[in-house]
Structure 1
Amino acid sequence: MVADAEAEANWTRLEKGEEHARMNAIYRFLFAAVIVRPPTSKGRVFDTDRVEIEPNPLD
């Protein structure tokens, strides 16, 4: 599957138009779950290694 050549421009348009409901629908279509594990250290730094993304099957 090849991503649409205009995908980035379309996403930027959604952001600028504040079309959050539509953006959320796209995320729900693509991802079955996004799991954020508890922090392992103190502070205000977000550790991206704690995030696990389960994609939806697209076939």
Structure 2
Amino acid sequence: MSVKRELRDYKQVMDGWDINSVDPCTWNMVACSTEGFVISLEMASTGLSGMLSPSIGNLSHLRTM
């Protein structure tokens, strides 16, 4: 959730990112592999701004943003 915390989300596109959710693959803008790994964050044209948290590196299967 530190990824969300570091970004300014004026359009509230990340409102569905719920820290209590067990499965981030259900969040909008998140694509996962068939194994359930986050492989893509569809952030283009969302109006997000700010710095990416270094914790983005914890998404070891992430391929595109």
By relative contact order (CA 8 Å, sep 6+), the higher-ranking structure is: 2
Q: Determine which structure has more spread, i.e. the larger CA radius of gyration.
A: 1
Greater share of helix residues, 1 or 2? Answer: 1
Whether the TM-score (by the shorter chain) exceeds 0.5 is no
TM-score (norm 1): 0.25
